[in-house]
A = this chain, B = another copy of it.
Amino acid sequence: MSRIPVAVLAATGAVGQRFVQLLENHPWFEIVAVTGSPRTIGKKYSESESWLLSTDIPESVRDLEVLPSTPEKVNTPLVFSALPASEAKEIEPIFAEAGTAVCTNAGAFRRDPHTPILLPEVNPEHIALIHAQRTAHNREGFIVTNPNCTSTGMTIALKALQNAFGVKRVFAASMQAISGAGYPGVPSLDILGNVIPYIGGEEEKVTWEPRKMLGKVENGKLEMADIGFSFHANRVPVIDGHTLVMTVELADSPVNFDLVADALSGYQSPAVSRTLPSAPQPPIRVRTESDRPQPRLDIADGMTTVVGRIRPDDLFDLRMVVVSHNTIRGAAGGSIYNAELLVEQGFVSR
């Protein structure tokens, strides 16, 4: 089959560049258009902004002209959006009105009751919300979001525990990479040799989004999961890879603690998501070394959620560490995986 033409909105920023990098040689999608801010419109993509990744700009994209983010200029059945939230709020609905499928990394519509936050490993059935979204807005196009980069690893790990034992309460603290703040993002004077125990808006997102994704969709309605969170967001001097330490209270304590690691390492994505091109297999990898996972060593494959230090806890049931690639699994790669699910489920035609 020929590849589906796609566009990347805000392709010149940090997340946009990841989309461009990951879509090179994608078996199903082919970038035919890129958009950028007014300052970059009209330039060649390769000359629009400094490229931040250690691989080269894909040849097929180098010479594309940077376009404005409007459906008049960008006429593809599917767009990936790396727009900042404020712009996403205005621009993404325009594309949806024009009939486009929008897979977005932006958070603008995550709290919308008709917009799914999708993790194919976790809640592919939430894709059903698209029908409600189409009805509510009387449009054919639609918006599908992926979660915040920190919510991503957390939710995938919790899903495995939820399936096996049920999850009641979660304490968590993150140590998040600087790439999560985009570019130019965090000034080096702020973070070199330092910890910043604050990321604006992050704690609200990370304690809300997992409840939506772990909730149930029935008859086009979503019921949030009843899980309590206490969360601390921190920035640390790491390039890529968010680390989460978590203490979890289960609904049903495992009769044997080894079952916890088994539940995580044996977790299987729902069948519909398992064989998509971007599907990590298995979705969760459990490391057994005492000092792993670590962001610099354990995110090489980009899409796998890595869990380690699974151990009993005195207050709740268990403690563990979760590491996940924040700009691949937690951003661009997640959106692409979602788009593959949309194609598989017939929401985007090949």
Contact = CB atoms under 8 A, between A and B. Distances in A.
A232 B207 contact: no
Contacts of A245: 173, 197, 232, 234
A183 interface: yes
Interface stretch (A107-115, A152-160, A253-261, A314-322): A314-322
Interface string A176-199: 001100011111111111111110
A216 to B, nearest CB: 21
A229 interface: yes
A132 to B, nearest CB: 29
A189 B232 CA distance: 23
B184 A319 contact: no
A243 B233 CA distance: 12
Interface string A291-326: 111111111100000001100011110010100000
A292 B291 CA distance: 28
A274 B299 CA distance: 34
A163 to B, nearest CB: 22
Contacts of A332: none
Nearest to A229: B314
A32 interface: no
Nearest to A176: B195
A173 to B, nearest CB: 4
A222 interface: no
Nearest to A193: B193
Contacts of A50: 289
Contacts of A195: 175, 236, 238, 243, 294-295
A290 interface: yes
Interface of A: 14, 50, 52-55, 169, 171, 173, 175, 178-179, 183-198, 200, 207, 228-230, 232, 234, 236-239, 243, 245, 247, 289-300, 308-309, 313-316, 319, 321
